[in-house]
């Protein structure tokens, strides 16, 4: 967008919404946006982009090894975990079945798809997210089976 078009757009926006009345996203809208950005970067297998949506003190709890999974703490460690996971699972895809938002928390029901021994395979699970300041502060993963 050229600068003059931007100024006109901003002028029109502030005409309808004076600065004191600019609508702010609700906590639920901010949480949903963070989850959508995270999931998009995840399904693109883009660890660098994923890092943009994580807090510095983010926590990830993996579904394995059984029975309690592995806990990874801190942005750098979580990004490296996902970078290695993407390299090992280049055909992996997560489809969100449902996303339930309550304030800064989100529950995402998903199906994970990939090839196993050359055959289509899937498993279903749930992620419980905590979002802080528009970024994922925690992602706790659970699976069926």
Per-residue pLDDT reduced to its tens digit, 32-46: 999 999 999 999 999
In a domain, 93, yes or no: yes
In a domain, 32, yes or no: yes
Beta bridge partners of 82: none
Name 85's Cβ contacts closer than 8 Å, sequence gap at least 6: none
In a domain, 79, yes or no: yes
In a domain, 6, yes or no: no
Tell me the pLDDT band of 23, cut-offs 50, 70 and 90.
confident
Per-residue pLDDT reduced to its tens digit, 43-73: 999 999 999 999 999 999 999 998 899 999 9
CATH number at residue 115: 3.10.450.50
pLDDT at 22: 62
- Between the CA atoms of 64, 34, 100 and 79, what dihedral angle is there, to the nearest 10 degrees? 0
In a domain, 16, yes or no: no
The pTM (predicted TM-score) of the whole model is 0.81
Q: Structural domain of residue 39, as residue ranges?
A: 25-143
CA distance 102 to 106: 6
In a domain, 51, yes or no: yes
Tell me the pLDDT band of 8, cut-offs 50, 70 and 90.
very low
The total of structural domains in the chain comes to 1
Per-residue pLDDT reduced to its tens digit, 94-142: 999 999 999 999 999 999 999 999 999 999 999 999 999 999 999 999 9
């Amino acid at each position: 967008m050229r600068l003059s078009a931007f100024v006109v757009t901003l002028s029109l926006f502030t005409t309808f919404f004076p600065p004191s009345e600019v609508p702010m996203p609700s906590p639920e809208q901010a949480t949903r946006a963070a989850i959508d950005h995270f999931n998009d970067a995840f399904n693109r297998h883009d660890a660098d982009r994923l890092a943009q949506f994580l807090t510095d003190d983010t926590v990830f709890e993996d579904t394995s090894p059984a029975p309690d999974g592995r806990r990874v703490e801190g942005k750098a460690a979580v990004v490296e975990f996902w970078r290695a996971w993407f390299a090992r699972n280049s055909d992996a895809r997560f489809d969100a079945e449902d996303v339930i938002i309550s304030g800064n928390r989100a529950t995402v029901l998903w199906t994970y798809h990939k090839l196993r021994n050359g055959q289509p395979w899937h498993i279903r699970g749930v992620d419980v997210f905590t979002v802080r300041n528009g970024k994922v502060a925690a992602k706790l993963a659970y699976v069926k089976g």
